[in-house]
A and B are shown apart, each in its own frame.
Chain A
Amino acid sequence: MAAINESRPGLKEPYNLSPRIGWLRDYYFKGTDRKWNNEFTAWTTGTPWDVCFQEMTYYIVPEVYFLMQALRGSYRQGAREVPLDADFWNWSLPERRAWFVRKVMVDMVPQEILPGDLVCGARFNIQTSLCLNRDEAAEYDRLLIGPNGARATMKRFHDHGYGNSGATSGHLVPGYERMLKIGWRGIHQEIEGHYQALSPEDKAGPRGCQLRAMMTAATMPRDVGVKYAARCRELAAVEPDEGRRAELAAMASNLDHVPWEPPTTFWQALQALWLGHMLVMSDENYPGPGVSFGRFDQYMLPYWQRSIAEGMDREFGKELLKCFWVHCNTAYDAQIRSGNQGITAGFGQLITLSGMGADGRDMTNDFTYAVLEVIDEMSPILEPKPNVRLHRGTPPELMDKIVQMISDSQGAPFLLNFDERSMAGMLRQAELAGMKDRINLDNVHEYAPVGCLENTMVGNDRSGTVDNNLNLVKAVELAINGGRDLLPYVDQITGVAEPVTQDGPDTGDATTFSDFEEFWAAYERQTAYIIDRCASTYEASESVRARFFQTPYLSCLVAGCAEKGRDINQGAAEINLTTLEAVTFATTVDSLLAVKYLVFDRKICTMGKLIDALRANWAGHEVLQAQARNKAPKYGRDDDEADAMAVRVMNLWCDGAWKHVTKSTGRRFRPGMLSWNYWAGDGYVVVATPDGRPRGQFLSNAICPSNGADINGPTSNSNSVGKALGGKSEDQVGNYRGYVNLLPNGASHTITFHPAVIQDPEHCEKFKSFLHGYMENGGTALQINILDPDMLRMAQKHPQDYRHLLVRVTGYNAYFVSIGRELQNEVIARMSHQRF
């Protein structure tokens, strides 16, 4: 261990791990070398038309487009047949599905317990039959993979640079708090109550079918628990070690009680939570992404306090949590052989910590700190991903702990969520989507982020937070070329070019525009068009999922489904929205600023010349490109004039988003900015943009300024972000204490700091001051990265993209790219040695 520290100082190492946890953690990181893993297993009804791969959930993952049919084929090929109930094919689709998933999890998948593990529930990644009969399968295929099916529709959308869209699983906080409070017996009883209240006609109709399916699903955790209890006893019977024997006995007796009955101890609560959670991933056939725990340190607190009071050692409580942590990471095993990239690189089972309670009081407690300790001692580890909610009333002790962890880990092992700005967004959503009965000043503090940072309410909210990812800059391209792509789409494999067609509205020949407002008018119409097209692309998969893929188990955990007798995938959640996540925000704003500056304000070039340059990907137009990059104003510098354009763009597309509702499921679109990794990959799809970016260079990430544009440092960057979100105003709809947030979903914001900003206690105090300033002026969420030598090496290679990079030597700052090579090398060497 010491040797590793010496060779790579600054690399965070786990600490304070018991031999048990050390082993489990090391074992996990052996990856494909493990004998045991949680790789997908596939299960079929055995029909020749069966489908064991729900592909729509991957429509937002361009990396797998080429493999779609192959995955579908191979899961079916490798699927094991499940013996069906004699009546199986007489049941409704949701009932078939509920029965099938339960059958697989209870009787087909083995119950396994890793050595020393204290929490049961190991193998849960499954691909189950869609349980379609022949007619249903034919209809499903027609709608999905036919020439104008959902798959072709979404692929066209992506190929032409619009982004991606698809009905995706996960991304919500299931009603775990209630699940623990009343147990699955309580949930089952409630569903049964709803069922019994139905008229005979309704019982025979779709509502009856759905509620029967949900009752079946509600017994799945009970039956899986029984199986695991038996497994614990089998292992205990042959266990030579007395201590371990006692643990297995305790685990078995926990499972005699939970998850069917409500837990009484912390251990039971954690066990029940894990089973309840992992089965959501089984039910959706989709591990991890965005199935989040919500305010873990609030609803688990009573169990923690009770067990501590009853004599549980605090360190043992943390030991249980660490087992839980390892379990969350096994979600990644699903596609373990493809390595950690793209969708498999970050799943986002979020744990929310701290934050406001009613009346703005702070909710930090002993358990919050216990969880932070676990994160610190376990990290680096990917899951579960902690989001720490900060607000004006966050106690200094928590701020200290957070900054210390950022400093020790050389980067934040959690995301920071900012309550005031976030809650303003939720309140605005309540107004604009007409849901003030569900979100209001009395409960808005109960919000929690899912996936990465997407704010939702808990236990009754599905907001499709990753379902629609729209490249706003496509509207600039269309405005420049009268509603037509600037360049023909060329098939990557055949090399065949498609003719350019009139896709967007004909907004006229941009070379005849006499002022910027004329251009803006065209941009406005094209923006309406791309949002409309995104909504219709989404409808294609959303409607198929609603009809052919129900998740009755998950529906048990989301308020609204039992009451309505309808599946969550059919739009039954009380808060039933989908989110339009804008990608390329800064690229769009900067492009509009560049058009205004180059063509209209300074008349540096004509529109025709600009179009020529974009078509040529700037080749032969390097001077103009340099002017676009360096002379035109940019968003992200706290330049009020440039940021005004950001606000204008933001208002336009947000207003556009709110206008749309899915036809099949009644989900209103709300705006957000996540942009995940698309800003990198789509950089190769989207043509050159007027801000000077050539095709092949990254687009801007979420709400962040364009690469290299934030030359005035982190505070100006943050101020621009806050302004773009709406700033502060008491007059705006849904403001919270003057904070305005146009993006209820929230916006991803990453800032990379020089390690010197947290090098010692004095600097940590100053860094805390920055965070307090961010609370006032910044965005909804902040990812703090710390500069590392690799990034500096990248900056040496691509100085243009790193103009903003400041290196700090105590008492002195300099732009890295403008200090000669020799000094650059020394700065890199110093950073490698943690010497600033």
Chain B
Amino acid sequence: MKDGLVLEIQRMSTEDGPGLRTTVFLKGCPLRCSWCHNPESISPQPELQWIPVRCIECGTCVGFCSRGALSRGVEGVVIDRGACAGCGACADACPTNALEIWGRRMTAQALVREVAKDAAYFSRSGGGVTLSGGEATAQSEFCMDVLRGLRASGLNTALDTCGLCRPETLQAMLPLCDVVLYDVKMIDSNLHRQFCGASNEVILENLRLVASAVVGSAGATSLWVRTPLIPGATATIDNMKAVGGFLATLPPGSVSRWDLCAFNHLGRDKYVRLGIDWLYRDMPLMTAAELDAMKAAAQSSGVDPAIVRTSGATRLQE
């Protein structure tokens, strides 16, 4: 069995599929969405972060690194990302956990054992375990072991995917999933390439595949589509209409929900900790009116209006 690189196990998760769930975030993603609010999930390698609020400036870490990747700067610990191998030795030594490693290797068996601890909380609400990312299909072999283990434990399974993978991978995984959460960001392929670092043909083709599997009982029993609403990118009336228009061409009844998730900026500090200048650093949240307009556009796009939902914070206005 193959190890997986797990970013985080989030228990009592309420936003990643039906019921109460545990969401497993896997590390490594084939897309490079400019707005990504989990930038630490993109690289398929472990990454070191320094959390200033925890640091007591004891200096334990500096000089600890055999590759000399850590030094002390004016504003605290400086990580030389070129030199850091992500081995985590400094994080183990850091007394306050101010240095932490994003991503740890786990076996499928250990992961299943860990998430099964919350089985009692899932059942009454149709909840279970969601494999999310990063991108779960990028670690498909590992994920299939995990899904099989979850199935064997009688747990409901969900796959949260960006859809960019080989169709065979999806076809293999679908029979092991009860729910698929599928991201559709934008329909215009050029814009998609521009904002997400890859075109969307495969993504849309794969969505057709999942949709027919759902209605044909050849796999998961329900499909939820999710669209992040990013001001200046996906959050346009045209894009809402285009995405909805596309969804309307899928087999009737295959999409049971279409969630419009408003842009949020809670990931801002993660960018700082990764040393990346984020394009959306100063982007304000959407206003409630903007969110309503997106919803209205989505509802008039040709899909069953009842499947459209919105979520996420909107701008505080006096």
A residues sitting closer than 8 Å to B (CB atoms) are 622-624, 626-627, 629-631, 638, 712-716, 719, 756-757, 763, 765-766, 768-770, 772-774, 776-777, 799, 807-814, 817-820, 823, 826, 829-830, 833, 835-836
A757 to B316 CA separation, bound complex (whole angstroms): 20
* B-chain residues with CB within 8 Å of residue A715 when the two chains form the complex: 11-12, 117-118, 121
* B-chain residues with CB within 8 Å of residue A808 when the two chains form the complex: 14-15
Minimum CB–CB distance for B54 against chain A, Å? 8
**Does chain A have a CB within 8 A of B151?**
no
* A-chain residues with CB within 8 Å of residue B124 when the two chains form the complex: 768-769, 772-773
Interface residues of B in 263-311 (CB under 8 A from A): 264-269, 272, 311
A768 to B19 CA separation, bound complex (whole angstroms): 10
* B-chain residues with CB within 8 Å of residue A714 when the two chains form the complex: 11-12
* B-chain residues with CB within 8 Å of residue A836 when the two chains form the complex: 313
If the complex has contacts A622-B58, A713-B12, A768-B125, are A823 and B268 also in contact, measured as CB distance less than 8 A?
Answer: yes
* B-chain residues with CB within 8 Å of residue A638 when the two chains form the complex: 117
**Does chain A have a CB within 8 A of B127?**
yes
A627 to B11 CA separation, bound complex (whole angstroms): 26
If the complex has contacts A715-B11, A835-B314, are A623 and B122 also in contact, measured as CB distance less than 8 A?
Answer: no
If the complex has contacts A719-B117, A819-B269, A823-B266, are A810 and B125 also in contact, measured as CB distance less than 8 A?
Answer: no
Give the residue name and chain of the B residue nearest to A631 (CB): B95
A451 to B308 CA separation, bound complex (whole angstroms): 48
Q: Once the chains bind, are A769 and B125 in contact (CB under 8 Å)? A: yes
Instruction: Across the A-B interface, give the 7 residue pairs with the lowest CB-CB distance, nearest first.
Output: A773-B121, A769-B125, A626-B95, A776-B120, A773-B120, A810-B311, A772-B124
Total CB contacts across the A-B interface at under 8 A: 129
16 new A-B contacts, CB < 8 A, other than A630-B96, A812-B266, are A623-B56, A626-B96, A638-B117, A715-B118, A715-B121, A716-B11, A757-B14, A766-B19, A766-B20, A769-B122, A770-B12, A809-B266, A810-B15, A818-B51, A819-B268, A829-B316
* B-chain residues with CB within 8 Å of residue A817 when the two chains form the complex: 53
16 contacts between A and B (CB under 8 A): A629-B96, A630-B54, A630-B95, A712-B11, A714-B11, A715-B117, A769-B19, A769-B122, A773-B121, A808-B15, A809-B264, A812-B267, A813-B13, A823-B266, A829-B316, A830-B313
If the complex has contacts A769-B125, A770-B121, are A823 and B265 also in contact, measured as CB distance less than 8 A?
Answer: yes
Minimum CB–CB distance for A282 against chain B, Å? 46
* B-chain residues with CB within 8 Å of residue A811 when the two chains form the complex: 15, 261, 264, 311-312
A818 in complex: contacting residue of B269, B311, B312, CB < 8 Å:
B269
Minimum CB–CB distance for B39 against chain A, Å? 13
B53, B267, B268, B314 — which one has the most chain A CB atoms within 10 A of its CB? B53
Q: Once the chains bind, are B125 and A823 in contact (CB under 8 Å)? A: no
**Does chain A have a CB within 8 A of B153?**
no
Interface residues of B in 7-30 (CB under 8 A from A): 10-15, 19-20
Give the residue name and chain of the B residue nearest to A833 (CB): B316
B37 in complex: contacting residue of A719, A776, A812, A829, CB < 8 Å:
A812
Q: Once the chains bind, are A769 and B58 in contact (CB under 8 Å)? A: no
Q: Once the chains bind, are B268 and A820 in contact (CB under 8 Å)? A: yes
Give the residue name and chain of the A residue nearest to B288 (CB): A835
B53 in complex: contacting residue of A712, A809, A818, A835, CB < 8 Å:
A818
* B-chain residues with CB within 8 Å of residue A813 when the two chains form the complex: 10, 13
> Residues 47-86 of chain B: 1 if any A CB is under 8 Å from the residue's CB, otherwise 0?
0000101101010100000000000000000000000000
* A-chain residues with CB within 8 Å of residue B272 when the two chains form the complex: 820
Q: Once the chains bind, are B53 and A766 in contact (CB under 8 Å)? A: no
Give the residue name and chain of the A residue nearest to B125 (CB): A769
Q: Once the chains bind, are B120 and A777 in contact (CB under 8 Å)? A: yes
Minimum CB–CB distance for A40 against chain B, Å? 47
Give the residue name and chain of the A residue nearest to B8 (CB): A813
A626, A630, A638, A719 — which one has the most chain B CB atoms within 10 A of its CB? A626
A826 in complex: contacting residue of B13, B53, B269, B316, CB < 8 Å:
B316
**Does chain A have a CB within 8 A of B107?**
no
A733 to B20 CA separation, bound complex (whole angstroms): 33
Interface residues of B in 222-262 (CB under 8 A from A): 261-262
Q: Once the chains bind, are A769 and B117 in contact (CB under 8 Å)? A: no
Give the residue name and chain of the B residue nearest to A759 (CB): B14
**Does chain A have a CB within 8 A of B123?**
yes
If the complex has contacts A715-B121, A812-B37, are A763 and B14 also in contact, measured as CB distance less than 8 A?
Answer: yes
Q: Once the chains bind, are A773 and B11 in contact (CB under 8 Å)? A: no
* A-chain residues with CB within 8 Å of residue B267 when the two chains form the complex: 812, 814
If the complex has contacts A809-B264, A836-B313, are A713 and B121 also in contact, measured as CB distance less than 8 A?
Answer: no
Q: Once the chains bind, are A772 and B312 in contact (CB under 8 Å)? A: no
A770 to B20 CA separation, bound complex (whole angstroms): 7
A756 to B96 CA separation, bound complex (whole angstroms): 30
Q: Once the chains bind, are B95 and A769 in contact (CB under 8 Å)? A: no
Minimum CB–CB distance for B270 against chain A, Å? 9
**Does chain A have a CB within 8 A of B97?**
yes
B122 in complex: contacting residue of A624, A712, A773, CB < 8 Å:
A773
Q: Once the chains bind, are B58 and A623 in contact (CB under 8 Å)? A: yes
Give the residue name and chain of the A residue nearest to B97 (CB): A630
Give the residue name and chain of the A residue nearest to B38 (CB): A812
Minimum CB–CB distance for A751 against chain B, Å? 10
* B-chain residues with CB within 8 Å of residue A774 when the two chains form the complex: 121
Minimum CB–CB distance for A401 against chain B, Å? 16
A774 to B122 CA separation, bound complex (whole angstroms): 11
Q: Once the chains bind, are A769 and B51 in contact (CB under 8 Å)? A: no
* B-chain residues with CB within 8 Å of residue A766 when the two chains form the complex: 14, 19-20, 125, 127
Give the residue name and chain of the A residue nearest to B226 (CB): A811
A820 to B95 CA separation, bound complex (whole angstroms): 22
A627, A799, A818 — which one has the most chain B CB atoms within 10 A of its CB? A818
Give the residue name and chain of the B residue nearest to A629 (CB): B96
Q: Once the chains bind, are A773 and B118 in contact (CB under 8 Å)? A: yes
If the complex has contacts A716-B117, A766-B125, are A823 and B269 also in contact, measured as CB distance less than 8 A?
Answer: yes
Minimum CB–CB distance for A131 against chain B, Å? 56
Minimum CB–CB distance for A369 against chain B, Å? 22
